[in-house]
């Protein structure tokens, strides 16, 4: 699927979205054609509305495949509201993890198979800086600016 941040690969299985990933512009993307899978059609519609600024929350069934720890992190990511951010350390604290677990949270964050819908792009460094994003920092910057109305959120957030 084409998007303002480059092509994306979508996949569904057993009635749930299992993958939304960014791919490089020269990658061969073989998403099923429209009309082949109603769920993927709906995901494309919702992503289109998100990028058009018309949708803030996705209503798509999704299923994650990962370790218990990864799934707990992804579940916490899904709670970060549109236009808000959280730090890796804050996610670790909400999960009741010990000090220093922010790296493990970052690793799980980077393995998120359902970009944008599970908003891993909303996780930033404790100092407000953009760090780490499997889709690349330019995409992360674009998504955060998109969600904040085009402006970084305060002087601390120099995106």
Domain spans of the chain, in order of start:
68-147
pTM for the model stands at 0.87
Q: What is the pLDDT of residue 154?
A: 44
Q: With cut-offs at 50, 70 and 90, classify the pLDDT of residue 155.
A: very low
Q: Which fold has domain 68-147?
A: Arc Repressor Mutant, subunit A (1.10.10)
| Beta strands in the chain, from DSSP E residues, in sequence order | 8-13, 16-22, 86-87, 123-124
Q: Please give the share of the chain, as a percent, with pLDDT higher than 70.
A: 88
Query: Tens of pLDDT along 86-130?
Result: 999 999 999 999 988 999 999 999 999 999 999 999 999 999 999
pLDDT digits (tens, 9 = 90+) for 70-83: 999 999 999 999 99
Percentage, residues of the chain above pLDDT 90? 79
Residues noted as catalytic: 120
Length of the chain: 159
């Amino acid at each position: 699927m084409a998007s303002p941040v480059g092509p994306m690969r979508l996949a569904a299985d057993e009635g749930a979205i299992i993958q939304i990933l960014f791919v490089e512009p020269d990658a061969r993307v073989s998403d099923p054609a429209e009309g082949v899978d109603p769920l993927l059609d709906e995901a494309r519609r919702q992503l289109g509305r998100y990028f058009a600024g018309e949708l803030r929350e996705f209503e798509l069934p999704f299923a994650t495949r990962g370790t218990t720890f990864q799934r707990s992190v992804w579940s916490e990511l899904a709670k970060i509201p549109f236009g808000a951010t959280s730090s890796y350390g804050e996610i670790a604290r909400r999960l009741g993890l010990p000090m220093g677990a922010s790296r493990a949270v970052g690793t799980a964050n980077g393995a998120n198979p359902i970009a944008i819908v599970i908003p891993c792009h909303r996780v930033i460094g404790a100092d407000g800086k953009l760090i780490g994003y499997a889709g690349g920092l330019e995409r992360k910057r674009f998504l955060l600016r998109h969600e904040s109305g085009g402006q970084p959120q305060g002087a601390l957030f120099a995106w």
